[in-house]
Amino acid sequence: MYLLLLAHILQSSLLAVHSCPTFCACTLGSSGTTQLSRLVQCSDPGISSVPINVPADTVKLRLEKTLISRVPRAAFYNLSELQFLGLVYNFITSVHPSSFVNLKALRELRLDGNLLSSFPWEGLRDMPQLQTLGLHNNRLSSLPAHAVLFLPNITYLDLSSNRLTILPAELLDLWFPLPGQQEGQVKRRILGLHDNPWLCDCQISMVRSLSMSLGVQ
């Protein structure tokens, strides 16, 4: 029985290795639970597109410092267990509105250090558990008012080091609600706004004052 069990474990391990994308490293590690979780790291400059054969049980996926320039429709559809997705310091200029379909367990999405001039905010509907969204160091020049509709559970939003000059009032109302409006709302924690070419107006002055009083960058 022990030999059969050992053979099964070895076979499963071999299958997992064989399914790992080219130029990537697939490992089993701890993610804060008693069970081991699949971690996939792809950071080879030879990668120019999102891998299509990432193991389906992957919980943490990092695609970093590659030549990836776009994230296509349903790019991660088979990764329904994914909780962390890092797409940082690539050359991404576009993200399809349906790129994140079926990422129902995702809690953290990082797109820092890319070339995004816009972001498909409506795509956040496909990630109902998302709490952290990192868009630091991109080329965003505006934030549409309707983006607020898709940020119901976000507690960490990093918009620092972009090209923003103004913020929609709707975002301020969401992040800094009046005392009587806070009941039942998600508690916002971090709103990264520094290193943007803000217009010097009363709105931004208010945000800076609130940020300083709350210890927000």
Domains and CATH numbers, the chain: 2-214 (3.80.10.10)
pTM listed for this prediction: 0.82
What was the pLDDT predicted at 105? 98
Per-block mean pLDDT, blocks of 10 residues, the chain (217 long) = 39 52 90 76 96 96 98 98 98 98 98 98 97 98 95 94 94 77 66 90 54 47
H/E element holding 110?
A: strand 108-110
What was the pLDDT predicted at 168? 92
Length of the chain: 217
* CA neighbor of 162 nearest in space, from 192, 207, 188, 122: 192
* CA neighbor of 175 nearest in space, from 187, 163, 166: 187
Tell me the one-letter amino acid at 68: I
What was the pLDDT predicted at 9? 36
What was the pLDDT predicted at 184? 56
Tell me the one-letter amino acid at 72: P
Q: From CA 62, how far away is CA 56, in angstroms rounded?
A: 14
Q: How many CB atoms lie within 10 A of CB 90?
A: 24
Beta strand 36-42 with 58-63: parallel, antiparallel or unpaired? parallel
Q: Which residues of 171-194 are buried (b: 16+ CB within 10 A; e: fewer)?
A: bbebbbeeeeeeeeeeebebbbbe
Beta strand 132-134 with 36-42: parallel, antiparallel or unpaired? unpaired
Distinct helix (H) and strand (E) counts, the chain: 3, 10
**Cα radius of gyration (the chain):** 20
**Structural tokens at position 192:** 């990264």
